[in-house]
Structure 1
Amino acid sequence: MAQQTPVAPPPKDNLAERIRDSYRALSGWNRPLYWLVKRGLPWASLFVVFYLLCGLVLGWTVTYEVLVGITSPAATGHLVLAWVLSLVGWLIAPAFVGGVVGYLVNR
């Protein structure tokens, strides 16, 4: 009888392949959790990065006050950044929160 050569095991997945597989496996989750992770997390992380950037440039107190509408963006040193922050605080943040709540209430 002929001897069989041993078969080498398949190579281990690298980090990029494991992240890709984890991301693709999200579709097995229930719909609200899937939606929050797949759609909500990227937008929320962009908001956090933008808020941190504004906090470093404008100052933390001014950033918070412009975001919630206490201080006018025109009263800051960086007008363009402050106006975008004000628009995010008045338009995008409430729309995002309303969308998440509306989706979860319907589920």
Structure 2
Amino acid sequence: MSAPLVPSPGGPPPPGRRHRLRALWADRHALPRFGFWLLSRGAGVLAVCTALFVLNGLVIGWGDSYDVLLGIASPTAVRPQWCAWPLSLAGWAVVPAVIGGAAGYVITEQIQSHHARELDDVLSELRRLAEPPPPSAGRGE
């Protein structure tokens, strides 16, 4: 007869890397709006723009890719043009949209942090301030 297996006194084994990454990804909803937006939307757009830039860097050269992305050079000025046009469109439309979206989220969070008071509280304070001051006692009349 063999002895029954006794659990180790150290407790359960620590979670693996895969489990920790899955839990970390599930917790992204607890981030502030800007952090969540950056992970959910911004990372994908940034990955596509980075892939376009790397593709163009390998095909037409890094300097020309930089010039096309920033709009310094036209995509018609480089050869081959098939990969320069998507990079030019990304530099013209996508990159400013991502920067504008990020700035919009940051500004919105700042504005919302200053709107912490309820309207009823503000109105009651204004009414209190609008009342005439009580007559002061002790003036030598």
Q: What TM-score bracket applies, with the shorter chain setting the length?
A: 0.7 to 0.9
For structure 1, which runs of at least 5 residues remain unmatched after alignment? none
Which of 88-97 and 6-15 deviates more? 6-15
Q: 2:34 aligns with which of 18, 32, 35?
A: 32
What SS class does the counterpart of residue 79 from structure 1 fall into? coil
1:57 equivalent in alignment to 2:59: yes
Bigger share in helix: 1
Distance between the aligned counterparts of 1:40 and 1:95, measured in 2?
10
RMSD: 2.1
1:74 equivalent in alignment to 2:92: no
Distance between the aligned counterparts of 1:10 and 1:45, measured in 2?
38
Alignment match, 1:46: 48
Q: Which runs of 4+ in 1 moved over 4 A?
A: 7-12
Q: CA deviation at 1:16?
A: 2.6
Distance between the aligned counterparts of 1:38 and 1:16, measured in 2?
19
Aligned length: 104
Read off the aligned partner of 1:94 and give its amino acid letter. Answer: P
In the superposition, the TM-score normalised over structure 1's length comes to 0.80
In the superposition, the TM-score normalised over structure 2's length comes to 0.63
Find the structure with the greater CA-based Rg: 2
- Identity between Structure 1 and Structure 2 (%): 35
Alignment match, 2:6: 6
Which string of whole-angstrom CA distances, capped at 9 and with x for unpartnered residues, describes residues 28-85 of structure 1?
Answer: 2222222222321222122222212211111011001111112111121111101111
